[in-house]
Amino acid sequence: MIRRNKTPKKANINLRFNLLTVIIYIIGIVLIVKLFSLQIVHGAEYREQSNTRLTRESVLEAARGDILDRTGATLVTSDTQFALEMYKTKIDDNELNISILNMINVLEKYGVSYPDSFPISINPYNFTIEGEELTTWKEENDFDENIGAEEAFYEFVNKYEITNTTNIDEIRKILAIRYQITIEGYSSTKSITIAENIPREAVAEFSESADKFAGINISVKPIREYTSGSLASHILGYASQISSEEYATRKDTYSQNDIIGKTGIEYVFEEYLKGKNGTRQIDMAVDGTTTAEYIAEEAIEGSDIVLTIDANLQKVTEDALAANIQKIASGGFGQRFDTNAGACVVMNVNSGEILAMASYPTYNPADFVGGISTENWNNYNNNTAHPLVNKAVQNSYSPGSTFKMITAIAGLESGVINLNTVINDTGRYTKYRDFQPVCWYYTDYHRGHGRLNVSGAIEKSCNYFFYETADRMGIDTLAKYAKYFGLGGKTGVELPSEANGSVASPETKAQLHPDDPSWYAADTLQAAIGQNDNSFSPVQMARYISMLSNGGNRIEPTIVKTIRNSDGSEVSKDEIESFVNQKLGIQEEEIEDIEINQEYLDAVLAGMESVTQDSSGTAYVRFKDFDISVGGKTGSAEAAGDKVNAWFVGFAPFENPEIAIVVIVENGGHGNYTAEVVRDIMEEYFGMNVETIEEDMTAEPYVQIMN
């Protein structure tokens, strides 16, 4: 057996300990030598550098993403604006005052304003504040309460040691900036903004003569620009400076001067539009001149939001709605109605894409850029027509007779009527002793429509027919079909504050009218013709009409086509939907899946065609010479304050539907008045006014139609 000598454990430990001691000793010597070099050999050199150079970082603001229409036309973008900032430097008061005066001379040369809150004017000397405000100001500055304006003026001249000029006007200008610095404060790392929106010529002059301006920095700030004025304002929304409440919860990603989306797409997709700021490093000498400047971290611009709307169709829709409201208000249809508000939605019947959405009156998002003026805010806020509200999404209304197609489908599907059922309208519905409503025809002509089938009842908009149909099937069946067609629930469209609306039912009545929760036969009859607690937003109505015309297939309304990141990639549909649902708190509602019999749909649609094509139809006068076959329905719904809201809902072409259009004019009187809006939009969509467009191609904005 071979034996091997083994090193004792203790010996191994001693050897490792000695080796570690040697290594530590060597490292110590190296550190001592290095420290000696820094402090003794090169100490004076490094101290000189630290006394003559300052390094600071500034934010490189990311450009906010654009908002585009479906064709790529830019609706919202970010323009570049230059701002003059000033940092504290190691110079005396005299040099600082000289630098400030040099800055002011350049700013005034190019007509750029600068902050001036110094409360003393000259020629003659006067305080620009008075009363308690002046008393408080004197106390804050340790002045005697009887001090005069001129004496106080020169106290500040002495305080700031302004000796570089004897010109009183120049002294006053220097005081304005020095006083602002005192109020806001600044340091070598925190700047004060001297001027914004500086022209490029001024930027060039500041850059070329940098040694004349101590501690200045030109920052580049993206400014929101709404390229088409008020076009699509209720869709786009607006962005403005972040509020103190918003900043308190977003300090990790926002500064106090950032802009943030407040309404519309700007609000909903803020997280995508914002982008990520970068960092710029600036080296300055102690006298404030810049010695070096470079990008430490690149800014990443925000994602672009591509909408489903067509800008040209959007403009036609807004113009047609505005013109129609003004025509109704002026008595252009023979009878005047006191109206000043309305909404319109144009939807692709198969995809649910919103091609145009208008709300009247409108507003200009540019008014909010940089902060809205008190005058403009009061004009908007005090306007009884509520121009800041998107009535197509945020308001809900009783649908009136435009609801009757739901009653018809529900009656047919439940079997209480069939395609051959004929109901005799005698004018007054007398089944119930305590509630005997009449058909509108009886009110106007003192007789009923007579015998009608379901298509004829829709064409004539016969209340009596639908009273009887609803009474046979009951409210639960009616409510079930209303909900299937997307009524009385949020659509999930990517816009804030969507109205939920409501479908008339015993449950709804108990919730909305707790003092009288009982359900009566009269409630069912009223619900059948679109009254009672039926209340729907125009975008819900557009989905309903789209589903009627597309074979009863459920669709999800959308106004966002895609989101394009700055690297060219696109955000998935699933991610967009999940993000929107979370941002807006949308919870998907379980809706019973129903397969609608196509024969029943055809009968209902035939009635809608007769509304526009048959001489006895309620909208025939608006479409009698129209080149496109249209299915439609008028509606006049009672509203609070003895008002009658006017509806028209339609789709085209009748043979192969592509678009559905819904219009409501608040207190518009008669539904057939609003049919003019639908006709004008269809003319544009189907290219029936090409000559007009070609003649007006010089007008801005012009966007080619792409269907």
Q: Is the pLDDT of residue 4 over 50?
A: no
Among the residue ranges 27-41, 408-422, 558-572, the one predicted with the least confidence is 27-41
For 323-379, how does the pLDDT look when each residue is reduced to its tens digit (9 = 90+)?
Answer: 999 999 999 999 999 999 999 999 999 999 999 999 999 999 999 998 899 999 999
Separation CA 85–CA 93 (nearest Å) = 18
In this prediction, residues 482-489 reach a mean pLDDT of 96
* Residue appearing with tokens 């305590």: 434
CA distances from 213 to 35, 180, 192, 202 (A): 38, 17, 14, 13
Banded model confidence at residue 6, pLDDT cuts 50, 70, 90: very low
How much is the mean pLDDT over the chain? 89
Class of domain 52-82+197-205+217-307: alpha beta
Contact by Cβ (8 Å): 103, 214: no
The whole-number pLDDT of residue 54 equals 64
Q: How far apart are CA 550 and CA 287, in angstroms?
A: 73
Tokens read off for 430: 């007398």
Mean pLDDT of 429-458: 95
Global pTM value: 0.82
pLDDT of residue 693: 38
Res. 5 pLDDT band, cuts 50 70 90: very low
Residues 63 and 78: beta-carbon distance below 8 Å: yes
Q: Tell me the β-bridge partners of 638.
A: 644
Nearest to 604, CA basis, from 646, 544, 682: 544
356 beta partners: 346
Cα 592 to Cα 357: distance, rounded to the nearest angstrom: 29
Domain ranges of the chain: 52-82+197-205+217-307, 89-185
Look at residue 18 in the predicted model and tell me its pLDDT: 60
Distance between CA atoms of 572 and 564, rounded to whole angstroms?
10
- According to DSSP, residue 500 is labeled -
Share of residues in the chain with pLDDT > 70 (%): 88
pLDDT for res 28: 60
- With tokens 């819900």, the residue in question is 540
pLDDT at 3 exceeding the cut of 60:
no
Give Cα 478 to chain centroid, integer Å.
36
Is residue 705 pLDDT above 90, yes or no?
no
DSSP3 helix / strand / coil % (the chain, rounded to 5): 40, 20, 40
User: Which pLDDT value is given to residue 694?
Assistant: 41
Q: Token pair 């509304």 is at which residue?
A: 611
* Beta bridge partners of residue 408, listed in sequence order: none
